[in-house]
């Protein structure tokens, strides 16, 4: 149980580290709009991940699930769509006003996916070496 | 169908289909998780973490589709060339 919670902590920390390293790399080698895209895209998904985490922590309480059952699914999905709409408005403004470069934004938005893949690779490597020993 | 109509249609279809698919996927996953927790409340922690990772992946798919749709509408790489061609005719 503790190990599995460590994965989420690892993903959360890796999100911020990737965002920071992406931002610094962008500042050094990429144009201003591209870097702004990385930073703002990364911020959007990192904040989204935090909100998703807090929603699930609140909702996935065994007593609440036993009492309310599948109506909780509706609750979570409504919150998801609200979050998605807010992200959509922000991304719309960023792209339509041409504040950021689209490819930079896509790179920034990939921060959480990259963190999850890194966490998966890390866990796989760990289990592989455990079996080898 | 002219270029601009095609672009707008593609953008609408991209985000519409993606949001539908992601919504259905999330609903199925969450429903399964709720059933799992009801049957075995002790597994809540494990289910919660796996759900979090899965939902984050699904959510990012929807956001990618949204970005593709918005790029098609507002930052299309071939837009200027297409407008120049339309202007020339």
How do the domains of chain A map onto residue ranges? 2-132
- With respect to residue B10, please indicate whether it lies within any of the assigned structural domains: yes
What token pair was written down for A11?
Answer: 């993903």
pLDDT < 70: residue spans in chain B: 1, 88-89
Q: What is the pLDDT of residues B23-48, one digit of tens each?
A: 899 889 888 888 888 888 888 888 88
When divided into structural domains, chain B yields a total of 1
In a domain, B89, yes or no: no
pLDDT at A16 > cutoff 90? yes
* Inside any domain, residue B84: no
pLDDT at B17: 93
| Residue B68 domain flag | yes
Residue B11 is part of a domain; what is its CATH number? 1.20.20.10
Total beta-carbon pairs less than 8 A apart between chain A and chain B: 110
Distance between CA atoms of residues A113 and A40, nearest Å: 16
A60: nearest CB among B48, B64, B73: B48
- CB distance from B28 to chain A under 8 Å? no
- pTM for the model stands at 0.79
B86 belongs to a structural domain:
no
Answer yes or no: is B88 within a domain. Answer: no
Burial B55-69, CB ≥16 within 10 A → b, else e: bbebbbebbbbbbbb
ipTM of the complex: 0.72
Percent of chain A with pLDDT over 90: 37
Residue A12: C-alpha distances to residues A53, B9, B41, B47, B57 (Å) = 10, 37, 25, 18, 14
Q: Return the pLDDT at A1.
A: 46
The C-alpha of B15 sits at a distance from chain A's nearest C-alpha, in angstroms, of 11
A24-45 mean pLDDT: 92
């Amino acid at each position: 149980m503790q190990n599995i919670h460590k994965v989420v902590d690892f993903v959360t920390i890796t999100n911020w580290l990737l965002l920071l390293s992406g931002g610094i790399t962008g500042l050094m080698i990429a144009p201003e709009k591209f870097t702004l895209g990385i930073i703002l895209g990364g911020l959007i998904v990192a904040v989204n991940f935090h909100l998703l985490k807090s929603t699930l922590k609140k909702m996935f309480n065994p007593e609440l699930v036993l009492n309310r059952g599948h109506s909780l699914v509706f609750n979570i999905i409504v919150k998801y769509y609200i979050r998605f709409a807010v992200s959509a408005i922000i991304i719309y403004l960023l792209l339509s006003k041409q504040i950021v470069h689209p490819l930079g934004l896509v790179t920034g938005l990939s921060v959480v996916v990259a963190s999850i893949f890194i966490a998966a690779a890390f866990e796989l490597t760990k289990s592989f070496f455990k079996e080898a020993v | 169908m002219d270029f601009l109509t095609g672009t707008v249609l593609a953008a609408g279809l991209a985000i519409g289909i993606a949001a539908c698919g992601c919504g259905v996927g999330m609903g199925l996953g969450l429903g399964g998780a709720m059933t799992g927790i009801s049957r075995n409340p002790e597994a809540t922690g494990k289910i919660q973490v796996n759900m979090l990772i899965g939902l984050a992946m699904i959510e990012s798919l929807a956001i990618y589709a949204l970005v593709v749709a918005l790029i098609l509408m507002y930052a299309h790489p071939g837009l200027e060339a297409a407008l120049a061609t339309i202007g020339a005719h």
